[in-house]
Structure 1
Amino acid sequence: MKQTESVGSLQMAVLFLFFLTGSSIVIIPSPLTSVAGSGAWLSLLLALLLGMAMLAVLLYVHRAGGGRPFIAYTRSALGGPLTWFVMAPFALLLFWNVAGIVIEIGFFFKSTMLKETPTYAVNGMLFLIIALTVRAGLETMARMAALLLLLMFGFVALILVLVSGLYRIEFLLPILPEGIKPILHGAYIAYGFPYAELFIFAVLLPHVRAREAGRISRHLYIALAVNGLTFVCAILGSLMVLGPLTGELKYSLYQLARLIYIREIVERIELVIGFSLIVGFYFKTAIALLILIKLLAALLRLQDEQLLTFPVALICFLLSLTTYTTESATEQIVNVTWPLLTTLAYAAPVVLLAVVLGFKAMADTS
């Protein structure tokens, strides 16, 4: 990885879309429907509106930074000590974020395909592949992303089309069986995972080529809209097939794939689809690890980012084995703790930076 790495605006939008959709498309339908029922898609739309507002803040900070690296303009705005104060929780939560995604991959494998395989073997293999991917650099990852994104979205669309014969519209009613409170709870969950996580892209946005910087806002908003539409389709499809069971069954898209049966010609395809969905987990983790390494290298003023790749991956691997090991603990974190943590560690520093840069801009014009 080199400091001079740059990608096109559309490539950055693909990375952004992959990061937001990656593991979320597999995980998010279950917790949303468990708290919001058939109104889960409304929760998602509310969270998407919050995501749009957060993206506006992120883009404002990026424009105010004038194309400089994120930590560089943060230091100039907040000073060195305050930069360390606000960025330390940012980096620490990123460690946990990377480990958490791989923990979810492990749970997915253990509950669906590799039930007898030890967790350390699954996580270790994944972190080795992820670290090698990150070591290849931002430009290589951006070129990989388009193909892998098509693979993931293609299989999601295939699942929703092949189970369309099982759709029952009546499962979508009533929309508000218990009022607005469960809808707001669902929106809180989706806000924390994945939309509040978009603030970590403040580290990558300065790597967009200068000649394409003017297009980045449009491309990121389109990517966010595509993400929201995909989530809504996944939630509606799961609800119309599984009904009330959607909130009880984890990995609802995988469960839908298990129901696909077409005249003994198309059946038992859930393993192929399961491995394709793993692509989303894997590449989201690679993007998050890349951002973490770039952030640490900038904070530590390192010239060679590659020195951090394997040590940081090793720390994240150890965290994935020791932080939380039961699915019930994971659900508690996703439903309650994670939105609060992402607000304090990801959103708050970027919003603070936006406020400071805004005041400085007003002072310069007055």
Structure 2
Amino acid sequence: MRTQVAIIGGGPAGLLLGQLLHRQGIDTILLEKRSKAHVLSRIRAGLLERGTCDLLHEAGVGARLAAEGFRHQGVNVSWGEEMFRIDLAGLTGHAVTVYGQTEVTQDLYDAREATDAPSFFEVDEVTIHDADTDAPRVTFTHDDAPQEIACDFVAGCDGFHGVSRPTIPDDVRRDYEKVYPFGWLGILSETPPVEEELIYASGPHGFALCSMRNEGLSRYYVQCDASESPDAWSDDAFWAELRRRLPPAQADALVTGPSIEKSIAPLRSYVCEPMRWGRLFLCGDAAHIVPPTGAKGLNTAAGDVHYLAEGVTAHYRGDDGPLDAYSERALARVWKNERFSWWFTSLMHLFPHHSDFERNMQRAEVALLRESEAAQRAMAENYVGLPL
């Protein structure tokens, strides 16, 4: 087989890249290790920055987003019994949109299938060859048969555990990582959200997040030990723990019900440099991980996709400048999003090693955020998304 761009990874990053390139007349073949049903079953964040929404519209998949997404003009922060609102729209002129990542992925799959662009699911033994030459290849097996793709470029959108990043030699690649001493226990429930906008809560018992997918589907999280099992938490235990981490008014208003999904996610910050080796380009979780505080994962990946699609398109028009600058441009934005996610995580969570002094520093910084318009504006600018 022959294509212009081989995309490894059938999550939203790979799908968005394929759709943007398709609209520029550039051919792609997409490889996914799992089944399509498995990819669509993943429960992920549902908060989209303005730039991500713009990209989805540019890719021609924004109709359902516009019709069903919930625009949030603000976000709530609480410390103990006090809660205050950050006016995102008033401070920046922009909002964020709540629209589940599963819905984004479904829209992108529908668009790809409408183009008849080749996609292979449940592939195995994916290997990238000759990425440091002008003629890269990707080999894999599908239905027990060996396959090979000759291509101009390889886009590694296959996540933290994929094959793309390890293809970059150890003496070229540099890894930066911070592992946090806690995780998030999250549940999905068919209950109305406790508040119209998200609540990021902290207090003596740790962090909690109140989010939603729609008017009748809520997503809630509480900080927990990363080594715990979700099976150790009954629904009643979760709701009780969430209540004691919320301000009294929100705790009293919380509507509970059976969980339809429950999981624990560890938290880490990670960056790989560079994001390019020869004709192999890394996108999304293959190159970087952020803690979920502030919902920068998918949005950071969308920034990568924007820069790579722009670079590949320019290449086929005779200009290699944007493609040569891909890693530098993407990393500049990645590190800014890493900083924001690290800052917000450090501010809102209870760390086991924190002294009383450090906990009071957190309290003082939350007070500054509550009282200072300048501090709120800095947070709001990062929260709605830095310009692409």
More strand by percentage = 2
TM-score, with length taken from structure 2: 0.28
> Could you say which structure has the greater relative contact order, defined with CA pairs below 8 angstroms and 6 or more residues apart?
1
| Larger CA Rg, structure 1 vs 2 | 2
TM-score, with length taken from structure 1: 0.29
More helix by percentage = 1
